[in-house]
């Protein structure tokens, strides 16, 4: 580990020189690539410097303890030695985590797809609750939410809602949300007070950038049609809705929320590229099944990952067996604590597999 850290420190120094070289600055593509690499290495190097500084102080203190000292000084040094030994242990753990292979998608924006599952109208209302939860979470982070496509239920809630969250590191936090979410509560329509169980599925996809996916224009068919929905001046008056079919895979994306055909087309293309990118990634992951098994939260989307139990006011994540009794706050977007637990658990699993 120390050899790797020493190598990274030298690389960081080299990159620091390169990004201020006028010749490289003139080549904007090369310069951006080096700046990104420099930013990725920096936190590891700063932590390593903190570690080497602590090591140096610890060695000096141990040397001083060999000398003739009065009792008070000796106790002071012993206390400092214990303090630095504890700090070094903590820094070693932090460095191990920083050296874990990075998910190349962590910095990306996300497209979130929420669909009502089993449970009829109640499932659609729950899909609406989840959409509100993620929107409020995004707002608390200063991220921007943009609705891409909706299919309303008619009584509130959604059959399906697709939206984008723009924010640095959005995927690194939200990727653990993919899977089946289950709700247990008494529906407002239920006169006997019986508890119903309903589900909604969540898929969190990293936004595909142009460099990730290239779509051949001859591989897609674009159809325009009249919007249908719950009113609005543009509904049934203009051919503003867009349906894109990707012929090689049979993927179909429709967007009709915008009044402009051009905007609907842009949103549909963005969703299509992201789904294709996710398909490519899933195929690669399936080839490395062992790595897939060691991940906590980015696996099978048919897996039941979390239960929201209203009578008991609790939320349980089944992957890490963590329960919080703050259901109301959780649904108001206060989900950081659960996400932190999932990240910690994921890192612990990955550390087990480090050779």
Give the 3-state secondary structure of 208-219.
Answer: CCCCCCCCCHHH
Least confident of 168-182, 210-224, 338-352: 210-224
In contact, 279 and 253? CB cutoff 8 Å: no
pLDDT digits (tens, 9 = 90+) for 288-329: 444 444 444 444 456 789 999 999 999 999 999 999 999 999
Query: What pLDDT does 231 receive?
Result: 42
Task: Please determine, looking at this structure, whether the domain spanning 217-285 carries the CATH number 3.40.1190.10.
Answer: no
CA dist., res. 161 & res. 293, Å (int) = 29
Crossing angle between the packed helical segments 71-98 and 336-352, to the nearest 10 degrees: 90
Express as a percent the part of the chain with pLDDT over 70.
Answer: 89
What does the block give as tokens for 162? 């697709």
Query: What pLDDT does 285 receive?
Result: 63
In contact, 162 and 72? CB cutoff 8 Å: no
Q: Which of the four CATH numbers 2.40.50.140, 3.30.300.20, 3.30.70.1660, 3.90.15.10 does domain 110-211+291-352 have? A: 3.30.70.1660
pTM of the full structure: 0.70
What does the block give as tokens for 184? 């247990």
Query: What pLDDT does 229 receive?
Result: 54
Query: What pLDDT does 255 receive?
Result: 85
pLDDT digits (tens, 9 = 90+) for 38-49: 988 898 899 999
Query: What pLDDT does 286 receive?
Result: 62
What does the block give as tokens for 32? 């951006």
Give alpha helix (H) positions in 66-163: 71-98, 120-140
Nearest 5°: the CA angle 5, 8, 14 is 150
The whole-chain average pLDDT of the chain stands at: 85
| Beta strand residue intervals within the chain, DSSP E | 110-116, 144-152, 158-166, 179-185, 196-206, 220-225, 241-246, 251-255, 304-309, 314-317, 322-324
Query: What pLDDT does 290 receive?
Result: 46
Query: What pLDDT does 299 receive?
Result: 43
CA dihedral 216→221→222→226, nearest 10 degrees, is -160
**Domains in the chain: boundaries:** 2-98, 110-211+291-352, 217-285
77-94 mean pLDDT: 90
């Amino acid at each position: 580990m120390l050899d790797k850290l020493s190598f990274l420190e030298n690389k960081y120094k080299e990159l620091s020189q390169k990004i201020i070289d006028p010749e490289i600055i003139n080549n904007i593509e090369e310069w951006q690539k080096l700046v990104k690499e420099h930013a990725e290495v920096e936190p590891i190097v700063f932590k390593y410097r903190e570690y080497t500084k602590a090591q140096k102080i610890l060695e000096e203190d141990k040397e001083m303890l060999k000398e003739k000292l009065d009792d008070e000084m000796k106790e002071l040094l012993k206390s400092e030695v214990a303090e630095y030994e504890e700090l070094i242990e903590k820094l070693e753990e932090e460095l191990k985590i920083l050296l874990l292979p990075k998910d190349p998608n962590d910095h990306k924006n996300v497209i979130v797809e929420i669909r009502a599952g089993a449970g009829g109208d109640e499932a659609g209302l729950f899909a609406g609750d989840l959409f509100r939860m993620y929107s409020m979470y995004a707002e608390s982070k200063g991220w921007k939410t943009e609705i891409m496509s909706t299919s309303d239920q008619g009584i509130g809630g959604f059959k399906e809602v697709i939206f984008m969250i723009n924010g640095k590191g959005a995927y690194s936090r939200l990727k653990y949300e993919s899977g089946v979410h289950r709700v247990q509560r008494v529906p407002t329509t239920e006169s006997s007070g019986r508890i119903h169980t309903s589900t909604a599925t969540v898929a969190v996809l990293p936004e595909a950038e142009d460099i990730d996916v290239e779509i051949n224009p001859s591989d897609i068919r674009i159809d325009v049609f009249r919007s249908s929905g719950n009113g609005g001046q543009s509904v049934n008056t203009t051919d503003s809705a867009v349906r894109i079919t990707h012929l090689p895979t049979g993927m179909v994306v429709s967007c009709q929320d915008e009044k402009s055909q051009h905007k609907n087309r842009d949103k549909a293309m963005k969703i299509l590229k992201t789904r294709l990118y996710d398909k490519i990634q899933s195929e690669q992951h399936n080839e490395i099944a062992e790595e897939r098994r060691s991940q906590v939260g980015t696996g099978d989307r048919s897996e039941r990952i979390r239960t929201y139990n209203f009578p008991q006011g609790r939320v349980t994540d089944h992957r890490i067996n963590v329960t919080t009794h703050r259901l109301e706050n959780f649904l108001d977007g206060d989900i950081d604590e659960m996400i932190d637990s999932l990240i910690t658990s994921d890192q612990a699993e990955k550390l087990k597999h480090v050779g």
